[in-house]
């Protein structure tokens, strides 16, 4: 199939489609969740930075709780049925270890998403999480197929710089840790 449209997600991005679209993202310590309804062939993905927080934030979907709610909502708008959803989870790498420590963010992101998906009764069929290398993820919304590739230096270092810059510019908080 030839895909006419590609969507790139950055931190806080959410996209769902009933049309054949490639949704892609690059993850370090962040997490992306893919949801797919196999009967309607509707798929979507989010990309979040931290598990929770920022109710008054200018981009609440950079937090897992808001990103998951938005992704599920977008899927429902397209007619998808949550009883049929299959989930795939990616990211949560300790990439900041490349610059001296990850601060527990990847572990917290993965714990959050596992708990959230279990509580919602969403079946996880695939994961590629942890480690120290970032991942490039591509979702094909019509088939639910996901391609994952680990990214090596120098692109890995560029992602670390981007995550640090994003944390600094948005004053992202995680527990008692502020990224600056």
Interatomic CA distance for residues 64 and 51, integer angstroms: 4
The neighbouring-strand residues paired with 45 are 15, 34
pLDDT digits (tens, 9 = 90+) for 124-155: 999 999 999 999 999 999 999 999 999 886 66
Q: How far apart are CA 24 and CA 139, in angstroms?
A: 6
Instruction: Map out the domains of the chain as residue ranges.
Output: 6-171
How do residues 156-174 score in pLDDT, each as one tens digit?
A: 566 666 665 555 444 444 4
Closest CA to 156 of 108, 88, 99, 100: 99
pTM: 0.83
Choose which CATH entry (3.60.15.10, 3.40.640.10, 3.30.1330.200, 3.40.50.9100) describes domain 6-171. Answer: 3.30.1330.200
Give the pLDDT mean for 14-22: 97
Active site (catalytic) residues: 30
3-state secondary structure of 41: coil
The helices-and-strands tally (H runs, E runs) of the chain is 3, 11
């Amino acid at each position: 199939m030839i895909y006419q449209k590609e969507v790139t997600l950055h931190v806080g991005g959410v996209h769902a489609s009933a049309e054949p679209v490639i949704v892609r993202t690059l993850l370090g310590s962040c997490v992306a969740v893919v949801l797919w309804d196999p009967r309607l062939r509707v798929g979507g993905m989010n990309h979040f930075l931290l598990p929770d927080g920022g109710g008054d934030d200018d981009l609440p979907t950079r937090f897992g709780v808001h990103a998951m709610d938005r992704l599920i909502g977008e899927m429902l708008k397209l007619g998808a049925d949550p009883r049929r959803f299959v989930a795939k989870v990616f990211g949560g790498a300790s990439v900041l270890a490349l610059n001296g420590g990850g601060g527990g963010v990847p572990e917290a992101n993965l714990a959050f998403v596992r708990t959230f998906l279990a509580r919602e009764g969403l079946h996880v069929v695939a994961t590629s999480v942890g480690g120290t290398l970032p991942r490039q993820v591509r979702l094909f919304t019509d088939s639910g197929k996901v391609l994952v590739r680990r990214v090596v230096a120098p692109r890995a270092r560029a992602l670390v710089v981007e995550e640090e810059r994003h944390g600094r510019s948005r004053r992202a908080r995680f527990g008692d840790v502020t990224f600056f």
